[in-house]
Chains A and B, each alone.
Chain A
Amino acid sequence: MTGYRRKEMLWSLLFVTPPVLGFLIFGLAPLISSLGLSFMSWDMMSPAKFIGLDNFGKLAQDEKFYKSMYNTFYLLLGIPLGMIAAMALALMMNRPLKGVSLFRTIYYIPVISPIIAVSLLWQWLLNYDYGIINEFIWKIFGVQGPNWLGDPNWVKPSFLLMGLWGGVGGTMVLYLAGLQGISSSYYEAAEVDGAKRWHQFRFITLPLLSPIHFFVVVMGVIGTFQSFSQMYILAADGGPEYSGATIVYYIFQEAFKYFNMGFASSVAWVLGVIIFILTLIQFRFSKRWVYQD
Chain B
Amino acid sequence: MARERRLMNSLIYVLLLAGSIVMLGPLAWTLSTSLKTQQHVFDVPPQWIPKPSTWSNYTDVWSKAPLLHGFLNSAIVVVAVLSVGLFVASMAAYSFAKFHFPFKEGIFLALLGTMMIPYSVVMIPQYIGFSELGWVDTLLPLIVPGLFGNIVTIFFFRQFMQGSIPNDLIDAAKIDGCGYFRTFATVALPIAKPAIAAQAALGFMGIWNDFMGPLIYLHTPERQTIQVLIASMQSNYISTSNYPSLMAASLIALVPVIIVFFMAQRYFIESLAISGIKG
Contacts and interface: CB of A to CB of B under 8 A. Distances in A.
A117 B254 contact: yes
Chain A CB within 10 Å, residue with most, of B99, B233, B273:
B99
Given A8-B180, A232-B215, A124 B126 contact: no
A25 B257 CA distance: 31
A120 B101 contact: no
A97 B278 CA distance: 22
A165 B19 CA distance: 10
Interface in B122-171: 122-129, 131, 145, 147-149, 151, 154
B278 A178 contact: yes
A181 interface: yes
A191 to B, nearest CB: 12
B79 interface: no
Contact of A177 (B24, B46, B231, B278): B278
A154 interface: no
Interface stretch (A53-61, A73-81, A141-149, A268-276): A268-276
B52 interface: no
A27 B231 contact: no
Contact of B272 (A11, A44, A118, A173): A173
Contacts of B46: 130, 132, 135
A107 B64 CA distance: 33
Contacts of A212: 277, 279
A112 B91 contact: no
Interface residues of B, number: 90
A184 to B, nearest CB: 16
B76 interface: no
Contacts of B62: none
A233 B240 CA distance: 12
B250 A121 contact: yes
A272 B20 contact: no
28 contacts: A9-B102, A13-B101, A13-B102, A18-B91, A19-B149, A21-B148, A22-B145, A22-B148, A34-B121, A44-B131, A105-B265, A110-B23, A114-B211, A116-B227, A117-B230, A120-B230, A120-B246, A135-B45, A177-B273, A181-B278, A209-B279, A232-B211, A248-B212, A252-B212, A268-B121, A271-B118, A272-B117, A272-B120
